Amino acid sequence: MHIRHRHLKPITKLGVTYVFLSIGISLAATIWSVYLNSFLNNISLVGFLTSLFTVIEVFAYLILIPLIEKTNKAKMFIVSLVFFAISYLLLSVYSNIYVVIILGILIAIFSSLRVTLAGLVVRDNTEDDSVSKSEGVIYALLNSAWFVGPLIAGYLAKVYGFSSVFFFAAVFVLMSIFVFNFFRIKDNRKTKNLDKHIFRVVIEFFKNRERTLTYILTLSVSFWWTFIYVYMPIYIVDKGYGALLLGFFLAGVSVPLIFCDYISGKIANKRGFKKLFFVGFISLGTLAISCFFISNIYVVSGLLILASVSVSMIEPTSEAYFLDIIEEDERDKYYSIYTTSVNVGSLVGSLPAAALLLFLPFNSLFLYFGIPMIVLAFLALSIKDSYELDRKKVRSRSKRK
Measured distance CA(325)–CA(188) in Å, rounded: 23
198 backbone dihedrals φ, ψ, rounded to 5°: -60, -45
pLDDT at 68 > cutoff 80: no
Nearest to 384 by CA among 325, 338, 319, 303: 325
- For the stretch 216-226, pLDDT in tens is 988 999 999 99
In terms of Cα–Cα distance, which of 170, 308, 335, 138 is closest to 227?
308
Residue 381 CB coordination number (10 Å):
12
pLDDT in tens, 292-346: 999 888 899 999 999 999 998 888 778 778 877 777 767 667 877 887 888 889 8
Asked if the model's pLDDT at residue 145 lies above 70, the reply is yes
Q: What are phi and psi of 388, to 5 degrees?
A: -65, -35
CB 201 within 8 A of CB 333: yes
Q: How confident is the model at residue 386 (pLDDT cuts 50, 70, 90)?
A: low
Residue 291: CB atoms within 10 A of its CB come to 21
DSSP state, 385? P
pLDDT in tens, 340-367: 888 889 889 988 998 998 888 889 999 9
CATH topology for 5-186+195-400? Growth Hormone; Chain: A; (1.20.1250)
Query: What dihedral do alpha carbons 117, 221, 356, 98 form, nearest 10°?
Result: -20
pLDDT of residue 134: 66
CB atoms within 10 A of CB 119: 20
Burial of residue 328, with CB atoms counted within 10 A of its CB: 0-12 exposed, 13-18 middle, 19 or more buried: exposed
Per-residue pLDDT reduced to its tens digit, 19-67: 898 899 999 988 898 899 888 888 889 889 988 888 888 787 777 767 7
For residue 129, give the DSSP letter.
G
Rounded Cα distance, 96 and 319, in Å:
37
| Residue 277, amino acid | F
pLDDT at 197 over 80: no
Q: Residue 280: its pLDDT value, please? A: 92
Q: Do 279 and 311 form a contact (C-beta atoms < 8 A)?
A: no
- pLDDT tens, position by position, 95-123: 888 999 999 999 888 887 787 777 777 66
Q: Comparing 115-119, 235-239, 391-395, which segment has the lowest mean pLDDT?
A: 391-395
Cα–Cα–Cα angle for 222, 228, 231, nearest 5°? 110
Of the candidates 400, 172, 380, 374, the residue with the CA atom closest to the CA atom of residue 273: 380
pLDDT band at 391 (very low <50, low <70, confident <90, very high): very low
Quote the pLDDT of residue 126.
63
pLDDT band at residue 187 under the 50/70/90 scheme: low
Residue 374: pLDDT above 90? yes
Contact status, residue 324 vs residue 386, Cβ threshold 8 Å: yes
Domain ranges of the chain: 5-186+195-400
How many CB atoms are closer than 10 A to CB 278? 18
pLDDT in tens, 254-263: 888 888 877 7
CA distances in angstroms from 42 to 35, 62, 158, 250, listed in the order given: 12, 31, 21, 21
